Chains A and B, each alone.
Chain A
């Protein structure tokens, strides 16, 4: 009867841990104490990571972010396998009239990326290939889609994880852009 075994408590403890996290997330969302759409990034205010990436169109050439210094710049991580990226495509297309956007194809196959661009439009001034996700690691991306705003001096000013919606663009991105000018 008294064969007490600590290992048999592991499932219970693991479950309670998950439940507490879930409960906190639920409570935070309910009470509104969590500010949605804000994800901390340690890179805010720091120079954009310099990871050399081959260009999608020409794998011999490298994507050089420095070439775009002197103007605000958006860097958008996307992939052909990512459904929210499809949803985001029209917003990017619209934005590309106002600001240069660099695309980084995250863990994607070049031919799939090409097809994706054919289908959903290409709003990018240049596209880097991050086949193995090393650049994503350096930038600290949570997943795709994810977008970074770089100021004319090459510093990261803002980041957004998830698709850019009309709301995010007007309430956050446009403000940050206005602050820069």
Chain B
């Protein structure tokens, strides 16, 4: 038996195991049979082991360039560097589906191993739901997208991987994004298990929240990586294009952000239970939609989707079952989760509800902007975009209001009213926001209203966070600084970091919009172009041979226009990948905290000159820095929770359970 067949066998075993995992624990919960319930963790761990073997077998085929495997022959090439042979495993539909499944079962196994003190019934139900999702996707893989199909006649060499995907950023971007997408499946499993058992309470939320945070952190990083990749690889100098593929990852992120906040209310106050359940279902549904739209270029070409009827129908079937049944369950059992609101709208709860409403509206805006062109494309086959004007006019204002709430929420008190520090915080933030706005208008001529708004929001949020920190840690109160720091919940620290990440992100985005400069020129070797206080000399253009491509490279010398001091040498390229006969542009970037120099080489020859696109992008790297800070904040909150819950007793379940 070859390695490939062994991998295939392991995948089939995983399918059988996850079927067991989805049925047996549920029977156990119905009969209160502990033995049957314990089958769940065992099956989940075994399925994970089987999937690791299957995935390992596929990766090995890619590393060995075993072209008798159809997938390897179609998506790899012997001349490719090792890292891209490995990342080629998930650079295609079948392989990325297997990676998706691998992450899914690993999450399941981690859940099975951890959470020993978790209520047994809840855990059994969650693992069962998790098993159902896994079996659905394993069936999808085995019956329509088998990665282990052999070729009767193995070709001498492979057809290669899309050269645009041969990039370190993209090698880690999909796994990171999948960690986020798939992590939401655990929140989804919590929601469905809660609906089955009717035991959505504070304890339920306490167990679910770390999973939401983990998924949210991974999703945040994944999106930031994708945006960074688009920035340096596509060579357009932009970092977000409102492309359907990007939107597909933004929608689950928005829903997960809402879920992250509403779950706080469930844990702290036992309120918003049915809403949180619905959000968890919505977030995972959107990540399902997101993965499948991106998968195998469904959005870029609807025809590849339609060309394989079995696959398209299967996807629709999975979506129908995975989303439809939980929503049916929600319609039936959801009303039982309702509780009488015991809070005033002017309260922490009220602010978090506002947060949720705004994020859901933002999700709907992105959904509409994404699917209206897709729907049109499905019907007519034509590709159009509604583009940034739509999103600028709708999405940005909604998110602007959200930033306003971000300062108000943390200084409100639970149930009703505000905390004593609210007055100082809100006053300081508003005064400085107005000052920032006035300075912005005074210094920058014909500044757009949106940009003034952005500047004011940045000041508002930055000062809001700073004052909040100050009022909670200032040395006038009793106890030393160290003592107050120690008393401070790590979750609050995480929130500050994540919210400050938004400030950094907004600074980057606004700096880029307000101060970027761009030059599109045709230049011959020896000519000088001036951009943003730099003299750029096109020294020469030459050809060079890469491992699996041929490149036309330009040598650009950057000097300070005033002092003539040497700054940098940038080498943008145009590459032709011989095996794939594809051309890519490799932008040359000199990233600095203050801003990036960005150069792209276009067509031309020595006689008529080469077309060059030069950009200076102030503060642009802050955009991704902000994303990383947000994820770091989530991580701090998550780790802090674990540490704190280890030293304190489990949360008393003071909220009475709704009885059926």
The interface of chain A, by Cβ under 8 A from chain B, is 1, 3-5, 8-9, 11-12, 15-16, 19, 21-23, 25-26, 28-30, 34, 36-39, 79, 81-84, 107, 115, 118-119, 133, 142-146, 160-163
Contacts and interface: CB of A to CB of B under 8 A. Distances in A.
A82 to B, nearest CB: 5
Interface in B326-350: 327-328, 330-332, 334-336, 338
B334 A5 contact: yes
A153 to B, nearest CB: 27
Interface string B375-389: 111111111111111
Contacts of B428: none
B323 interface: yes
A79 B384 contact: no
Given A16-B324, A115-B518, A143 B384 contact: yes
Instruction: Name the 3 nearest CB pairs between A and B, nearest first.
Output: A162-B382, A143-B384, A36-B381
A8 B277 CA distance: 12
A162 B330 contact: no
Contacts of A162: 377, 380-384
Given A29-B306, A30-B309, A143 B316 contact: no
Nearest to B281: A11
Contacts of A145: 384
Contact of B278 (A11, A82, A84, A107): A11
B384 A146 contact: yes
Contacts of B82: none
B382 A161 contact: yes
A1 B380 contact: no
B529 to A, nearest CB: 14
27 contacts: A1-B336, A3-B338, A5-B334, A5-B338, A8-B331, A8-B332, A11-B278, A11-B281, A12-B328, A15-B327, A16-B324, A19-B319, A19-B320, A22-B316, A25-B379, A26-B316, A28-B379, A36-B381, A37-B382, A82-B385, A118-B520, A144-B385, A145-B384, A161-B384, A162-B381, A162-B383, A162-B384
B520 A83 contact: no
Contacts of B319: 19
Contacts of A22: 316
B1 interface: no
Given A3-B338, A160-B382, A107 B387 contact: yes
A21 B518 contact: no
B68 interface: no
Given A11-B327, A143-B376, 7 more contacts: A9-B331, A11-B282, A19-B323, A29-B302, A107-B389, A161-B376, A161-B380
B312 A39 contact: no
Nearest to B448: A109
A5 B274 CA distance: 12
B304 to A, nearest CB: 12
Contacts of B378: 25-26, 29
Contacts of A29: 302, 306, 378
Interface residues of B, number: 47
If over half of B's interface residues share one DSSP class (helix, strand or loop), that class is named, otherwise mixed; here it is: helix
B197 interface: no
A70 B125 CA distance: 74
Nearest to A1: B660
B389 A81 contact: yes
A21 B375 CA distance: 9
Given A23-B316, A26-B378, A84 B330 contact: no
B447 to A, nearest CB: 14
Contacts of B297: none
Nearest to A116: B520
B439 interface: no
B16 to A, nearest CB: 29
B243 interface: yes
Which of B316, B377, B382: most chain A Cβ within 10 A?
Answer: B382
A19 B316 contact: yes
B326 to A, nearest CB: 9
Nearest to B243: A83
B375 A84 contact: no
B313 interface: yes
A144 B382 CA distance: 10
Contacts of B470: none
Contact of A115 (B320, B328, B520): B520
B241 interface: yes
B611 to A, nearest CB: 8
Interface string B57-92: 000000000000000000000000000000000000
B373 interface: yes
Nearest to B329: A12
A26 B331 contact: no
A115 B589 CA distance: 21
A36 to B, nearest CB: 4
Interface string B276-297: 0010011001000000000000
